[in-house]
Structure 1
Amino acid sequence: MAPAVAARREGDTFQARIFWLHAARLLDPESGVSRVGFETGPKSFDDIRIVYDPARCPNDHYGKPVLREHIQCKWHVTQGSYGYADLVDPAFINASTRSFLQRAHDARRVVDSEGIGAPEDVGIRFKLLSNWMLERTDPLRDLVSQRSGGIRRETLYSSRTDNSRFGRVRKAWREHLKIKEDELWCLVQTLAFGYDPRSLDELRGDLDERFARVGLRRIPANENAFPYDDLVFQWLAQGRRDFDRAGFREACAREGLLRLAQNGRSVYGVKSFEHDFDRLEEHCHAVLDLVPAFDARYIRQDDDWRSTLYPRLKTFLSDAARAEPRLRLALDAHTTLAFAAGSIIHVKAGREVELEQRVAGRQIWAADDQAPDPAWPTFATETVELRPDQPDIAVALGLTHDVAADMRAYVEASLPQVGRLLILRPTTGPGSQSVACGRHAAGLADAATDAVRTAKAGGSALVHLFIAAPNAFTFFLGQRRTALGTVRLYEFDFDGHGNRSYMPALTLPLPPAPSADDPASASSAMRR
């Protein structure tokens, strides 16, 4: 292979591996990186683009937020160094007409024209990343901050004359660019320089460690082929240049690259509605997207609960349970689906389950997450004999708010086969803080199961469930579905776009296809 071709291939490999070092951080929920681009951005600074979350972005050496970096990667096959004069020499970057400094000035103008403010005012940096170091005796070495790689302007302008050590730098750059002193002052604030002395093999080793932490497939060191190097160029050929967290995770999933993170846990998400600012795809290993079956929170076709949604949920969770001895689930889903999920990964499934619960942010709840506390509220039980000659039982579980009145109104109007109402409320009263943690939720699920079995008195009555509770509790209750017998779940029109009442959703275990006179096949009030 000709030396020039080898150098080009190694340069591409260097660029690809630097991309993966930054892009892998998109899989780390604690990382400040929000987007990473490849071959996108201003000309000559389009090798890699990194966009940071303003709330978690790094600061430069002045403490000013760095919101975006445009990186030019410069790989050399031999060791070397460079200084301030090389930045005005096109040959330094293998160009014939435009120098690094001219290209940086052009890039600054392009970004400035985007209308988001001057780059130096909005924290945008143009960075040269090379395996060559700054020349030890060159003035540029004393100008570059070892913290951020940016230029210390107070040092550059520490003398007034062009004949001083740093004055010669200002003069050379100013005359080369044909700009005035104030323009140079603004430009140098946007420049940064990075030195990466690692060999390509060392970069691969560091990638292996990062991939292990974030859950990307690792390539054994004894294998010569490293498919990540080529993959990013394949994506480029397909027009995929820019990735946010969700897009990058999806792209990696399609390539079969996602694995369990070291010291972490794969998260499996189920969604039937979407959160505006916290999409499951941004942090989940895999997501079952049931949103298209709904119009906002209202199911489009009543029979989908039984014919489509439950089978898809069962397949998804069964596959996850086979892959993981301890599962972590994120359920941005209707109460019915949370219960159904528990019925699939039931208490005898041999799997421990953690749940992401949205309580003052995102918390991890599990049946063993805390020691029991006798101060936790239990259930206050109320029984109402409505129609003593009817076999079914309707159960109101009002943990977050009291559902008893709405349940009774619906039962009296629509469920003549219900003879008894069982109302379970927290002893401290319903509210968002009525369930303390995962262990508390699991204990309440046990208590509710015992109360229902007592109310049934060994009978085989159908249990109608009306639940207002954290999804973690509903999941744990679903895990005990066998002890409850046959149950039917109901969804309430909380948003007021239907009839402000309940309608049946799913009966478990699945019955035969419902007939026309089955209450479960009635027109859904969950439809607009």
Structure 2
Amino acid sequence: MDGSNTIEKICWEMDGAGGFDDIVLLFIQPQLDKSTGNNYTREYYQIKFHVNHSKAFSCDALADSSFIGNKSESLLQRVQNLRKSLGNHKDDALFFVVNTWGLDSNDRIGEILDSDGTIILDKLLNPGPKSKLGKVREKWRTHLGLKTDEELKEVLSPLRIVHSYSGFNSIDDTLNDRLRSAGLIPISAQERTNPYEQLIQKLHAEGKNEFTKQELFEVCKQEGLVAPPPSTGIHAVGIRSFVKGAENLEEEVDDVLCLLEHFDNRRLVDGVTWEGHIYPCLCDFADSTLAQQKPIQVHIDSHLVLAFTLGYCLDPKYGADVSVVQKTRNGKILWQPNTDELEYDKPQWSWNEHVIESENLATDIALAVSVTQDVFQDVEYYVSENLNSVRKIIEVSILPEPTNTSVKDGTHALNLAQRLISGVKKRRTISDRRGTIHLFMAAPAAAVLFMGQHAKTLGRIKIYEYDFSGSEPGAYTPALNFPIS
């Protein structure tokens, strides 16, 4: 059984699968049959275990219904009939017979089976009609009611005879290797019972015999069969304030800070405050993470304010090696900065300053940071409507322009963060430094976390969260003030 990452559904005791109903695998994409060079999308298994070796596979046995304990259908007839019932799928299915019985050493069957249990059709079909294999061919064709060898070839080509299969002890060893690689708890050698056998029996009694990979994993999780993450030299942590895409975060990391109870979509629930509830949770989580004294790998499924704040709490002065698992269009990618490749001589940002005419002695600055999209117009509108303490807006845009793919990797993200902080410091006057920086951002979570790590040198910062649920201009809400008093 190959292609576990491409399996769409697994079934057992499947209706309509004839005598190959013990296990059925349906694949998302066609799989290559290396024995024939053809593609297939489904596998059907007939699995039999015997306490002794009183019988053996032979050419006659494949055409004998009593060999499989059936009164009307032989093994070959089962393959033939199931192929017919599959309609359009008859030519893209494989049929596996898995059995502890071996091959009859006095029979010709050993000559026409390869090591994978595939019938070597050339050896069967090429000998003359009077040869021993020619007589086998004729017997099988007559038994199946076929007129030509080509028709016989179609029936035999997808059949796989997996003979002399291991006993239960060896199966447990192999199964344990598979269970560990799937993140599940192996079968204990000290216990008489097998929790997976019991689970299958329970599910069968409930009438449940078809599962997707995720559905089956959830069942194993409910039964306590999911193994804890393996110990590594890295401490993986996750922060979650969104549900979508983060349902299985606990299985991917060592520790999770789940803040779902504090949010209604992007807004804080009534009674919850950024300073009184959110920041203390993030600060404690960062302290416990740093206490592990390991390289830190962060999974972020949260508001950008939370990514920035976690970075602010993971101050570089603590010597933490921080990388981020960034969500991209190509899936989750580890963004691990390489400080030896930072490009200090190459421009990263474009800078524009917009002075606001005001009669008061305003000293604050609004910082509009555009990485994934341009935020300036929204920031300008919000400032004009809500922040009369702002003297100027510093517009900062990634070069060459903001897009969803403008940040290449972790090194680029760290480079952007460092250059942003140093660029802001250069552009602040003495009077500016007495005021607050009002920070508005649209950027990947990894870049935002690195910005937070280096932001303490900027002094007072007030960060804002954008409400993506509406289309109103300047849809920002104030979040945290740094440093927290």
Normalised by the length of structure 2, the TM-score is 0.77
In structure 2, give the amino acid aligned to 1:169: V
- 1:92 offset after TM fit, Å? 2.5
* 2:268 corresponding residue in structure 1: 303
- Aligned pairs for 1:96-245 (under 5 A) are 96-112=71-87, 117-120=88-91, 123-147=92-116, 149-159=117-127, 161=129, 163-181=130-148, 183-195=151-163, 197-245=165-213
Query: 1:145·1:151 contact (CA, 8 Å) conserved in 2?
Result: yes
> 2:351, 2:328 → 1: CA distance?
27
> 1:131, 1:273 → 2: CA distance?
47
- SS of 1:82's equivalent in the other structure is coil
> 2:105, 2:364 → 1: CA distance?
86
In structure 1, give the amino acid aligned to 2:90: P
Bigger Rg, structure 1 or 2:
2
In structure 2, give the amino acid aligned to 1:37: C
Normalised by the length of structure 1, the TM-score is 0.71
Change in Cα spacing, 1:392 to 1:140, as seen in structure 2 (3 Å) is farther
* 2:219 corresponding residue in structure 1: 251
Q: For residues 186-236 of structure 1, what are the alpha-carbon distances to aligned partners after superposition, in whole Å with 9 as ceiling and x for unaligned? A: 322332222363332222222333333343224554455442332333333
- 1:344 offset after TM fit, Å? 7.0
Pick one of 378, 382, 401 that aligns with 1:410: 382
- Aligned pairs for 1:66-105 (under 5 A) are 66-79=40-53, 81-105=56-80
- SS of 2:441's equivalent in the other structure is strand
In structure 2, give the amino acid aligned to 1:61: S
> 1:119, 1:95 → 2: CA distance?
23
- SS of 2:76's equivalent in the other structure is helix
* 1:435 corresponding residue in structure 2: 407
Query: 1:379·1:427 contact (CA, 8 Å) conserved in 2?
Result: yes
* 1:5 corresponding residue in structure 2: none
- Aligned pairs for 1:120-519 (under 5 A) are 120=91, 123-147=92-116, 149-159=117-127, 161=129, 163-181=130-148, 183-195=151-163, 197-256=165-224, 257-261=226-230, 270=240, 272=242, 285=252, 302-304=267-269, 307=272, 318=285, 325-326=294-295, 328-331=297-300, 335-336=304-305, 338-339=307-308, 342=311, 352-358=322-328, 362-368=332-338, 371-374=341-344, 377-386=347-356, 387=358, 389-390=361-362, 392-426=364-398, 428-431=400-403, 434-450=406-422, 455=428, 463-479=437-453, 485=460, 487-491=462-466, 493=468, 498-499=471-472, 501-504=474-477, 506-507=479-480
Query: 2:26·2:41 contact (CA, 8 Å) conserved in 1?
Result: yes
> 1:184, 1:208 → 2: CA distance?
39
> 1:471, 1:385 → 2: CA distance?
29
> 1:86, 1:369 → 2: CA distance?
68
Structure 1, gaps ≥5 residues long: 1-20, 512-528
Identity of paired residues, percent?
A: 23
Change in Cα spacing, 1:463 to 1:389, as seen in structure 2 (3 Å) is same
- 1:64 offset after TM fit, Å? 1.3
> 1:72, 1:65 → 2: CA distance?
21
- 1:416 offset after TM fit, Å? 3.3
> 2:180, 2:51 → 1: CA distance?
29
In structure 2, give the amino acid aligned to 1:408: E
Q: For residues 256-299 of structure 1, what are the alpha-carbon distances to aligned partners after superposition, in whole Å with 9 as ceiling and x for unaligned? A: 31332588987858584858xxx9759963799999999xxxx7
> 2:177, 2:164 → 1: CA distance?
17
In structure 2, give the amino acid aligned to 1:234: K
- SS of 1:35's equivalent in the other structure is strand
- SS of 1:436's equivalent in the other structure is coil
- 1:48 offset after TM fit, Å? 1.5
Query: 1:318·1:344 contact (CA, 8 Å) conserved in 2?
Result: no
> 2:166, 2:279 → 1: CA distance?
47
Q: For residues 417-440 of structure 1, what are the alpha-carbon distances to aligned partners after superposition, in whole Å with 9 as ceiling and x for unaligned? A: 433323323355444554332133
Structure 2, gaps ≥5 residues long: none
> 1:451, 1:167 → 2: CA distance?
85
Change in Cα spacing, 1:244 to 1:223, as seen in structure 2 (3 Å) is same
- SS of 2:385's equivalent in the other structure is helix
> 2:199, 2:429 → 1: CA distance?
60
- 1:505 offset after TM fit, Å? 6.7
Mean Cα displacement is larger for which, 303-312 or 221-230? 303-312
- 1:124 offset after TM fit, Å? 0.8
Change in Cα spacing, 1:475 to 1:209, as seen in structure 2 (3 Å) is same
> 2:147, 2:21 → 1: CA distance?
27
| CA-based RMSD | 4.5
